[in-house]
Amino acid sequence: MENGNIKIETKNINAFYGEKKVLHNIDLQMEANTVTAFIGPSGCGKSTFLRLLNRMNDYIDGFRKEGDVLINGVDIYSKNTRIEELRKQVGMVFQKPNPFPKTIYENVVYGLRIQGIKDKQKLDAAVENSLKRSALWNEVKDDLQKNALSLSGGQQQRLCIARTLAVEPSIILMDEPASALDPISTAKIEELIYELKQDYTIVIVTHNMHQAGRVSDKTAFFLSGDLVEYNDTKAIFTSPKDQRTENYITGKFG
Amino acid sequence: MKKEKIIEGFLFACAAITLLTTIGIIWVLLSQSFSFFKEVSVWDFLTDTQWTPLFADKHFGILPLLTGTLLITVIAMLVALPLGLTIAIYLNEYAPKGFRKVVKPLLEVLAAVPTVVYGFFALVVVTPMLQKLIPGLSGFNALSPGIVMGIMIIPFISSLSEDALYSVPKSLREASYGMGATRLQTAFRVLLPSASSGILASIILAFSRAIGETMIVAIAAGQQPRLTLDPTVPIETITAYIVQVSLGDVPHGSLEYRTIFSAGLALFVFTFLLNNISFWINKKYRQEYE
């Protein structure tokens, strides 16, 4: 590795749905403890690329990829990689809040229970810890046994983040985590992302350019399956090098 | 306008026919049972441990028939439930799409085989096979028809449960995978609980089908009402008894004849209660998603 800080690295990634090629030769390096934002219009391949990083595309019929994805310098698509171990390392928060139809408590400890952890004290501690980190603790601490679906959309999404944190990953992938939320909830999630980057490497896909500008250190602009430009967020938004990037961020299309 | 009225009337008539049929069945059961219970006390009917209406020493205890019915049904469910659910999970989680498309309808053929064929199969194939494993197994017994009935109702459970699993939102699956769960863990911890109401419905249907099944037990279980939970000896179920009397030379209108209506009523009440209990369980414990 040329740089000890590189957490995620992709080499010559091509991806296909059946015959259709959706990603072309993506080379990207993401540093530890930074927030990287993927922006671009719908269908540009940014979500597909994100889901490559924890092998979430594996179960999709007809999906195929070429090239390597390295996390901590290790090829995550090699035969020796256990996919479950990988996903404990690389957590994911989805576009629509998707809590399980279980209690708040059971949602948070889900990842621990599947690892076989039964120690009540450990589980309790993980619940309190994770909910505090996701800034939900004060709102739900008195009714942890309530069904998670009774929470508001914004609370549900923070619960999903708590659930992901409980597994103690080092990377968190977020696929438009605030697109289904109201502005206040969105602001809370963004604040949270800012807090979390102290301890985690975060990759976030977003439609919202202002959001990318607010939360991320680096920004990658995707268009039709190509990585057009990747740079410090400030540079992308103030002095884009590529004309297409400029057109997109100034709202000429997309 | 007039055409509309005619169609409306026709549709109403269709609905009315099904309703009237149901009312008619209940009416016949109740009225015939009523005259039966004028001669035999309800207490005896429910507590006597012998059922011998066709013998000189007449006893009218429904318990032997009821336990016979339950015994066979439980054996059938012990076969069908684990197999059906395993098949459902396999088809839903592991099988390639093409395989699922072919196998699901093939399995459903199991439910379309005439039950008399199953009965014969139980008697001449399964029972002799079991007799090699279990010495002392009677030629007529509860075990063999129970197992065969279990195979018959597998598609009720596998097909409907698979539909229920299939309708669990993809987002819940991904949430589970995303935290490092295996497919099996996802199936048991997320999919099964979320699909529980649909799965329960499939179990109820299979259960009702097993309780009401007649031909297999009439052929292979023997026709000896016996209060026992031993699956190796001949027993009789309510349905098999009704067949026995209906085909026999019992005079119409006699007390012996009316026993089939009281037995039928007991069966009706039994399934009715079961349906209501499961409906209640379903309502109380179902997990909503979305």
B189 interfaces chain A, CB cutoff of 8 Å: yes
Calculate mean pLDDT across residues A32-41.
93
Residue A59: per-residue pLDDT: 81
Q: Is A182 exposed, middle or buried (0-12, 13-18, 19+ CB in 10 A)?
A: exposed
User: Is-contact A128 B194, C-beta < 8 A?
Assistant: no
Residues 149-178 of B with CB under 8 A from A: 169, 171-172, 174-178
Q: Which residues of A touch B178 (CB under 8 A)?
A: 54, 56, 87, 91-92, 94, 164
Calculate mean pLDDT across residues A29-34.
93
Q: Which residues of B touch A91 (CB under 8 A)?
A: 178-179
Q: Is B284 exposed, middle or buried (0-12, 13-18, 19+ CB in 10 A)?
A: exposed
User: Is-contact A226 A43, C-beta < 8 A?
Assistant: no
pLDDT at A5 over 90: no
Cα gap B240→B231, rounded to integer Å: 16
Interface A:B, Cβ pairs < 8 A: 70
Residue A42: per-residue pLDDT: 87
3-state secondary structure string across B203-267: HHHHHHHHHHCCHHHHHHCCCCCCCCCCCCCCCCCHHHHHHHHHHCCCCCCCHHHHHHHHHHHHH
pLDDT at A139 over 90: yes
pLDDT, tens only, B59-77: 899 999 999 999 999 999 9
Residue B56: per-residue pLDDT: 84
Residue A25 tokens, joined: 């030769």
Residue A74: per-residue pLDDT: 92
Residue A207: per-residue pLDDT: 85
Q: Which residues of B touch A160 (CB under 8 A)?
A: 175
Beta bridge partners of A90: A171
Cα gap A185→B222, rounded to integer Å: 69
Q: Which residues of A touch B168 (CB under 8 A)?
A: none
Residue B290: per-residue pLDDT: 44
For chain B, list residues with pLDDT below 50.
Answer: 290
Residue B285: per-residue pLDDT: 65
Q: Tell me, what DSSP letter sits at residue A21? A: E
Using alpha carbons, list the distances in angstroms from residue B125 to A150, A229, B144, B247.
Answer: 55, 72, 9, 26
Whether residue A114 and residue B175 make contact (CB cut-off 8 A), yes or no, is no
Buried (b) or exposed (e) across B28-40, using 16+ Cβ within 10 A? Answer: ebeebbeebbeeb
A214 interfaces chain B, CB cutoff of 8 Å: no
Q: What is the largest CA-CA distance in chain A?
A: 57
Residue type, B243: V
Nearest CA in chain B to A54: B178
Which of A92, A96, A101 has the CB atom closest to B194's CB atom? Answer: A101
Cα gap A10→B142, rounded to integer Å: 64
Nearest CA in chain A to B98: A61
Q: Which residue has the tokens 């206040």?
A: A184
Q: Tell me, what DSSP letter sits at residue A60? A: S
Residue A254: per-residue pLDDT: 61
Could you give the dihedral angle defined by the CA atoms of residues B274, B279, B285 and B289, in that order, rounded to the nearest 10 degrees?
140
Q: What is the CATH number of domain B63-285?
A: 1.10.3720.10
| Domains of chain A in sequence order | 6-98+171-249 (3.40.50.300)
What's the Rg (C-alpha) of chain A?
A: 18
pLDDT at A224 over 50: yes
**Domain map (residue ranges) of chain B:** 2-39, 63-285
Q: Which residues make Cβ contacts (< 8 Å) with residue A67, sequence separation at least 6?
A: A10, A11, A12, A13, A14, A25, A26
Calculate mean pLDDT across residues A10-39.
94
User: Is-contact A89 A71, C-beta < 8 A?
Assistant: yes
Cα gap A228→A76, rounded to integer Å: 25
Cα gap B125→B116, rounded to integer Å: 14
Q: What is the mean pLDDT of chain A?
A: 92
Beta bridge partners of A172: A91, A202
A101 interfaces chain B, CB cutoff of 8 Å: yes
Angle between helices B238-247 and B255-285 (to 10 degrees): 150
pLDDT, tens only, B203-255: 988 998 899 898 999 999 988 899 988 999 999 999 999 998 888 778 888 88
Q: Which residues of B touch A84 (CB under 8 A)?
A: 180-182
Q: Which residues of B touch A61 (CB under 8 A)?
A: 97
Q: Quick one: pLDDT band at residue A181, thresholds 50, 70, 90?
A: confident
Calculate mean pLDDT across residues A171-177.
94
Cα gap A240→B134, rounded to integer Å: 82
pTM of the full predicted structure? 0.79
What's the Rg (C-alpha) of chain B?
A: 23
As for the ipTM of the complex, it is 0.90
Whether residue B189 and residue A85 make contact (CB cut-off 8 A), yes or no, is no
